[in-house]
Amino acid sequence: MANKLNVGVPKAPSKKDKEEIAKLQALSGADFDAAFIKAMMNKQQSDLKDFKSEAQSAQDPSVQRFAKLDEPVLSQHLQILEQLAQAHNVSTMASKD
């Protein structure tokens, strides 16, 4: 989709992503598991919100179709993450760490 719309894609993680990676690399065991699940849930929730917004209001019809088609997949992934969090006793509250 990015190529079709002539939109550049990042060649490296953002500063925020690099900070998150460093934070996770410093952890191990159950602490890593909990932090990783929380990070993935936050990202999935953010992505799902963005896809829902684009599905409703994207100016480009192909972007709108793409968002509508992928939104259910993102929702399913979020449900799986919620089940994983529950299985590992990780709070599903969105973290702003």
Domain holding 32, by residue range, is 28-87
**Residue 18 lies inside a defined structural domain of this protein:** no
At 93 the pLDDT is 66
**Residue 19 lies inside a defined structural domain of this protein:** no
**Residue 13 lies inside a defined structural domain of this protein:** no
**Residue 34 lies inside a defined structural domain of this protein:** yes
**Residue 2 lies inside a defined structural domain of this protein:** no
| Alpha-carbon span 58 to 45, nearest angstrom | 19
**Residue 23 lies inside a defined structural domain of this protein:** no
**Residue 42 lies inside a defined structural domain of this protein:** yes
Does the pLDDT at position 97 exceed 70?
Answer: no
Per the structure, the count of domains in the chain is: 1
**Residue 9 lies inside a defined structural domain of this protein:** no
Question: Can you say whether the dihedral through the CA atoms of 97, 33, 12, 46 is positive or negative?
Answer: negative
At 2 the pLDDT is 81
Question: What confidence category does residue 41 fall into, taking pLDDT thresholds of 50, 70 and 90?
Answer: very high
